[in-house]
Amino acid sequence: MIIRSILLLMIVAVLAGCASTAPPGNPHNLCSIFKEKPSWYEAAKKSQERWGTPTQVMMAIMYQESSFQHDARPAWEWFLFIPLGRPTSAYGYAQALDAVWDEYVEEAGSFFSDRDDFEDAIDFIGWYNHKSRRLNKVSLWRADLLYLNYHEGWGGYRRGSWKSKAWLRKTAAKVAWRASEYGEQLRRCSI
C-alpha cells in the first residue's frame, strides 16, 4: 500500500511538472500569462525587486528569446543531410549560453539553478540587465538597448556590433514595443 501511494505521488509530480512547463495559452497578454501561471508573476516580481528591471521588460526579452518554451534551443545546422550541431549553447527560457549561465550561477544564482526553470531564468534576465546597466550605463527601462546587450553581449554592445545588423535593431525595437504593451496590460491587471 505504501509503495503504491509513493508511486502514485511520483506520477502526479511528474505530470504536474510537465503541465507547468507548457508555454502560456496567450503569450501576447501579460495579465493572461500571470493569471494562468501565478508562480511566474511571483518569480518576476521577486526578480524585479532584486535586480530592478521592470517585469514587462524581462518578460518581453524572454518572449523574444524562447516564446516561453522551457527547453528552447537553437535549431541544428546541417550540411546537406549531415548534422553539424547547434550554433550556440543557448538553452531554456532565457536562451542563456553555457558560459554566461555559469557566471550567473557563480555570482548570483545557486548550484541548483536551472535554465529550464522559469524562476531561475527570469532571475538570470534580471541579473543580466542589472550588469548591462552597470557595465554599459543602459537604463533598465530601455528594453531595446537591454536586448541589444543581451543578444550581443556586454562587449559586443560596447563595440557597436549591433549597428551593422538591421535585423537585430528591428528585433530590439519589437522587444521594446512588446515591453510597452506588456507594461500597459500589467497596469490594468488585477493580480
**pLDDT tops 50 at residue 18:** no
Q: How far apart are alpha carbons 68 and 27 in whole angstroms?
A: 8
Q: How far apart are alpha carbons 82 and 79 in whole angstroms?
A: 5
**So what CATH class is 26-188?**
mainly alpha
Cβ contact 33:27 at 8 Å: yes
The domain limits of the chain are: 26-188
Q: Which long-range contacts (CB under 8 A, 24 or more apart) does 97-106 make?
A: 100/128, 100/153, 104/128
Task: Output 24 or 111, whichever has higher pLDDT.
Answer: 24
Cβ contact 50:57 at 8 Å: no
**pLDDT tops 90 at residue 13:** no
Q: How far apart are alpha carbons 104 and 156 in whole angstroms?
A: 18
* Residue type present at position 154: W
Cβ contact 140:183 at 8 Å: no
Q: Which long-range contacts (CB under 8 A, 24 or more apart) does 12-20 make?
A: none
Cβ contact 143:174 at 8 Å: no
Q: How confident is the model over 136-172, as pLDDT tens digits? A: 999 999 999 999 999 999 999 999 999 999 999 999 9
Taking the model in full, what pTM does it have?
0.86
Tell which residue, 87, 89, 92, 91, has the closest CA to residue 77: 87
Residue 74 gets which letter from DSSP? P
Q: How confident is the model over 66-115, as pLDDT tens digits? A: 999 998 776 766 677 777 765 676 889 999 999 999 999 999 868 788 89
Q: What is the mean pLDDT of residues 17-42?
A: 88
